[in-house]
Amino acid sequence: MRPTSLDDYLEEFIAADGTPTCRDEATCGGVTVPRYTNEFWTARQRQASSIHEVSYRACFKPQLPRFFVELLTDPGDRVYDPFSGRGTTAVEAALLGRRVVANDANPLSGILARPRLSPPDLDEVRARLEEIPRGTGLCAGTDLSMFYHPETEGELVALRAYLIGRGDEEDDIDRWIRMVATTRLTGHSKGFFSVYTLPPNQAVSPESQRRINKKRGQVPEYRDTHALILRKSRRLLGRMSEDDRAALRRAGEDALFFTGDAASTPRIPSESVALTVTSPPFLDIVQYARDNWLRCWFNGLDAAAIGEGITMARTVEEWTETMGRVFAELFRVTRPGGRVAFEVGEVRNGSVSLDEHVVPLGVTAGFLPEGVMVNTQVFTKTSNIWGIRNNRGGTNTNRIVLFRKPGHC
C-alpha cells in the first residue's frame, strides 16, 4: 500500500542496520527541497532475480527501481524508463506486475531488455542452437583475431548470419539467443567467447586488446559458443520462480520498447505513465557507442551512427539544455499525481552534483519537487575498477530527485 505522506515515510525510514534517516534541506537553483539520506536499498536486503545478470556499463542495481515501484505504484500501473540501458527498470517493474515502457537512443538497449520479458524454456534454447550451423572456417571480414580463436570466430560469424537472416521470422527464442550472445562477446573469464580482456560491459579496441595479449602472454583459445550461450541461459533462468516467469511474460504482451530521443516520444500516450525511474547519461563519463562497437558489429548495427544519436554533453549547460527538453516530454506522458525518480549520482569526483541542476528543470516543466534522496552504499568491485569514488570512507551514493505531477489520478 502506498504511503499517505511520502515525506513522513522517508523521514521515518529505518535502514536494515537500524540507521535512521537524516533529513535536512537543500537549495537547488533557488528552490529549497527536503533531502533524505540513508541506505534505503541495498543488494544485501533482497537478492535480485537472476534475470538481471546482463552486462552493461553504467547501470543501477535492481533494488533502486524496486524501491520506487513498490512504494509509488500499484500492479497494472505503467512504469517508464526513457534511458533504459540494459532494461533494469523495465525488468524489475515487470517482475512486480507493472506495465512497461522503455526507450533508449541505443538500439542495443532493446536487444538486451526485450527478450527477458519473454523468457524461453532452456530446452527450447538448446533445440534452437542445435539447428544453427557452426560455421567452421568462416571469417568476420574484419580482423578479430586478437579476441577469438579461428573456430570461435567461425561460430560467431555463422550465428550472426543466422540471426540477421531471420528478419521478420525472428521469434522470442532467436531474440533470447541474440541477447545472450551479445553479452558473451568479450569478458575476463572462460565464460565469454573472447580471450581475457576488460570486464564485459565494454569492448576495448583491437589495438588495446593486442597490448593486453602481449602483456599477459596470451593467445585466444577455442570457446564453444553454443555451450556458453546455453550455460549463461541456465544462469539467467536459474533462480526464477514460475511466478516470476509468468509475470515477465504478462508484461511482455503489451510492453513498449522504443529507440530514439527521450525528448520526443510521440508513441507514448499522454498522461499514461504512473512512474518514471531513470538514470540519464552523465556529461562525458561514458562513451556508449565506443564501448559497444563489437556488440554493434555482431548485431549488424552502425556504431558511428548510434554514437551520433546518443547525448554526450561535455558541459553542464549542454546537459541541462538537453534534460530540459526531456522533462517537458516526461511531463506530457506522466499522469496527474504520477511521479518521476531521476537518478543523477555525482560526477567529476563529486565536484558537480547534478541534482542541483535537475530540480529547476523539473519545476520549469511543471512538476512539483518532493525532495532529493541520497542512498548511501558500500563500494562495489566494479565501481572500484572504474575509479568511481563519490564519497570518502569507502561509500558510494545514488542521488535521486523526486517529482510529482500536480493533480490526482
Residues 266, 256: contact at Cβ < 8 Å?
no
Residue 249 main-chain phi, psi, to 5 deg: -65, -35
Residues 72, 4: contact at Cβ < 8 Å?
no
pLDDT of residue 51: 93
Q: Which amino acid is at 283?
A: L
Which H helix or E strand runs over 400?
Answer: strand 395-404
Residue 60 main-chain phi, psi, to 5 deg: -90, 165
Tell how strand 395-404 and strand 334-343 pair up: antiparallel
Distance CA 408, CA 392 (A): 42
Distance CA 373, CA 254 (A): 32
Sign of CA dihedral 29, 32, 33, 37: positive
Tell if the pTM clears 0.85, that is, is over it. yes
Give all domains of the chain, ordered by start, each with its CATH number.
6-107+241-294+306-404 (3.40.50.150), 122-235 (no CATH)
pLDDT of residue 353: 72
pLDDT of residue 394: 35
Please report, in tens digits, the pLDDT of each residue of the chain (409 residues total): 677 789 999 999 999 889 999 999 988 888 999 999 999 987 655 567 899 988 776 678 899 999 999 999 999 999 999 999 899 999 999 999 999 999 999 899 999 999 999 999 999 999 999 999 998 888 898 999 999 999 999 999 999 999 999 999 999 999 999 999 999 999 999 999 999 998 766 678 899 999 999 999 999 999 999 999 999 999 999 889 999 999 999 999 999 999 999 999 999 999 999 999 999 987 655 565 677 889 999 999 988 888 776 756 778 888 899 999 999 999 999 999 999 999 986 655 555 677 888 999 999 999 999 999 999 865 444 333 333 334 443 335 688 999 999 998 6
Radius of gyration of the chain (CA): 22
Residues 120, 238: contact at Cβ < 8 Å?
no
pLDDT of residue 24: 94
Quick one: DSSP state of residue 299? T
Strands (DSSP E) along 260-311, which ranges?
273-278
Residues 44, 19: contact at Cβ < 8 Å?
no
pLDDT of residue 348: 54
Distance CA 241, CA 244 (A): 5
Distance CA 334, CA 340 (A): 8
